[in-house]
Amino acid sequence: MIENTLIATLGMEITHLGEGKVIATMPVDERTRQPFGILHGGASVALAETVASLGAYELVDKETEAVAGLEINANHVRPKADGVVTAVGTVLHRGKTTMVWDIKISDEQERLVCVSRCTMAIIKKNK
């Protein structure tokens, strides 16, 4: 499911996938840096939405429902030039038609790099 996607292209790895919590890592390298040599904000947002999407999908009825990002915001609070970042996503609100996820992205010393909130739409599949 992850092969040939943005997840694979950016080197993301899902390290924990549980009910209401997802943890994933992403390298800070030539794939994820912006031209000034630091982690691209868009890469951080892609990691955050990936965590929220996978987490939301784990909480829906996969036979009748799907999920899609509805809104995302991010505050980039610390630059990161190399190494690995870790995203920890937790569900804040679990409704019938939407979910809200909190995602904190940190460096290897557990210093906050980015904080994001993502609203996921829960979509009914056509039968």
Which of 13, 49, 58, 71 is the catalytic position?
Answer: 49
Helix (H, G, I), strand (E, B) or coil at 78: coil
Distance of CA 65 to the CA centre of its chain: 20
Q: Residues 6 or more apart from 9 whose CB is under 8 A from it?
A: 31
Annotated catalytic residue 49: yes
Cα distances (Å, whole numbers) of residue 124 to 36, 49, 100, 127: 42, 20, 18, 9
Rounded Cα distance between 28 and 26, Å, is 7
Kindly list the catalytic residues.
49
